[in-house]
């Protein structure tokens, strides 16, 4: 496992350990999990341990974006004096990993510190890791079914989902932008990368929710949204996911829910490119926008009605 997370939300702390080669997606996943609602109360304490890391797969532009993501939300408790973020690096070379946190360390040096020793960082943050049962299990799948604003808004509220990141996948161009993907020249689909705890929600139920909130029978189209980047696609992260997805799709076909056959593509994920920061939590930040009111909101309502046990309130 490239990284693991331990949490004790009751006591208000979380820790992460990164192993080997750390990718952009893994840092985004960690940030997304730690920024979920339970973590947004003031006083959250975190320790991020990079001591076993051999490589950080981030470009300078991505590092700047990660710094912005980590510091953009005042609700995450950054203004609270009891908020703590300890960063662990065992060798001077690895301090380069923390360029992404420079903005935080500069603005709140008493709340963000770098340590060579993990025990020292935990003590400074007031964290007792023995108070949790162990790492949170996690599994990841990448899904495309129309505009990623819709899918993100739905899965962001599902119990058992740890994080959701909008992005682009299934194409051929490196580092695509939103404008390039919408123009249709990159081959990418708008997707969301969903990280979930398989002990709390099954992969099959993730897929059932996915098929409830989009029409998998219309090629390259969802309602008025037309284009190859709006195609229905499941990008699996393991052979086991591929087999289960195939079984779910066959079962749905047998149930005759739709009057036409499924056109959902099923293939392994080759590369995932996170979308620009302005797309993060788009529905949450723009509930009054026309697209959100007339397209996103009905899909959220449909999911809540069909899977009420998976949503709070």
Architecture of domain 139-310: 2-Layer Sandwich (3.30)
Report the pLDDT averaged over residues 100-113: 69
**pLDDT class for 22, splitting at 50, 70, 90?**
low
**What average pLDDT does the segment 218-223 reach?**
94
Chain-centre distance for alpha carbon 313: 22
Using CA atoms, how far apart are residues 210 and 232, in angstroms rounded to an integer? 10
18 touches 47 (CB < 8 A): no
Confidence check: pLDDT of 78 > 70: no
Helix or strand holding residue 206 (H, E): helix 203-212
Residues designated as active site: 147
Distance from C-alpha of 41 to C-alpha of 38, rounded to nearest angstrom? 7
Q: Which CATH number fits domain 3-131: 3.40.50.1980, 3.90.550.10, 3.30.750.24, 3.10.20.30?
A: 3.30.750.24
Segment 188-216, tens digit of pLDDT: 999 999 988 888 899 999 999 999 999 99
The pair of structure tokens assigned to 187 is 């081959």
Residue 82 has pLDDT above 50, yes or no: yes
Residue 55 has pLDDT above 70, yes or no: no
pLDDT at 40 over 50: no
**Secondary-structure percent of the chain, ordered helix, strand, coil, rounded to 5:** 40, 25, 35
pLDDT > 60? residue 91: no
Q: Residues 189, 231: contact at Cβ < 8 Å?
A: yes
Q: Which residue has the higher pLDDT, 38 or 112?
A: 112
The overall average pLDDT reported for the chain is 81
pLDDT band at 111 (very low <50, low <70, confident <90, very high): confident
**Residue ranges per structural domain of the chain:** 3-131, 139-310
The tokens describing 122, both together, are 């935990």
Flag whether pLDDT at 73 surpasses 80.
no
């Amino acid at each position: 496992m490239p990284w693991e997370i331990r949490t004790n939300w009751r006591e208000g702390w979380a820790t992460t350990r990164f192993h080997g080669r750390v990718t952009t997606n893994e840092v985004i996943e960690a940030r997304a999990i730690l920024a979920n609602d339970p973590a947004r109360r003031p006083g959250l304490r975190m320790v991020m341990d990079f001591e076993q890391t051999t490589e950080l797969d981030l470009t300078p532009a991505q590092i700047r974006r990660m710094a912005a993501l980590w510091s953009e939300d005042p609700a995450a408790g950054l203004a609270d004096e009891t908020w703590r973020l300890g960063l662990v690096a065992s060798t001077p070379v690895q301090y380069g990993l923390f360029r992404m946190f420079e903005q935080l360390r500069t603005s709140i040096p008493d709340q963000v510190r770098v340590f060579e020793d993990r025990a020292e960082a935990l003590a400074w943050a007031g964290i007792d890791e023995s108070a949790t049962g162990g790492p949170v299990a996690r599994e990841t799948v990448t899904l495309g079914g129309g505009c990623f604003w819709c899918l993100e808004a739905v899965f962001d509220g599902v119990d058992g989902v740890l994080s959701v990141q909008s992005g682009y996948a299934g194409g051929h161009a490196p580092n695509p932008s939103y404008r390039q993907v919408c123009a249709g020249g990159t081959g990418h689909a708008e997707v969301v990368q969903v990280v979930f705890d398989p002990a709390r929600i099954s992969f099959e139920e993730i897929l059932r929710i996915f098929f409830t909130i989009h029409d998998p029978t219309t090629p390259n189209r969802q309602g008025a949204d037309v284009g190859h980047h709006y195609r229905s696609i499941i990008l699996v992260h393991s052979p086991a996911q591929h087999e289960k997805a195939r079984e779910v799709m066959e079962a749905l076909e047998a149930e005759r829910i739709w009057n036409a056959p499924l056109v959902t593509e099923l293939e392994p994920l080759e590369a995932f490119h996170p979308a620009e920061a302005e797309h993060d939590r788009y529905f949450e930040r723009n509930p009054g926008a026309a697209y959100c009111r007339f397209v996103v909101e009905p899909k959220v309502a449909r999911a809540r009605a069909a899977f009420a046990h998976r949503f709070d309130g």
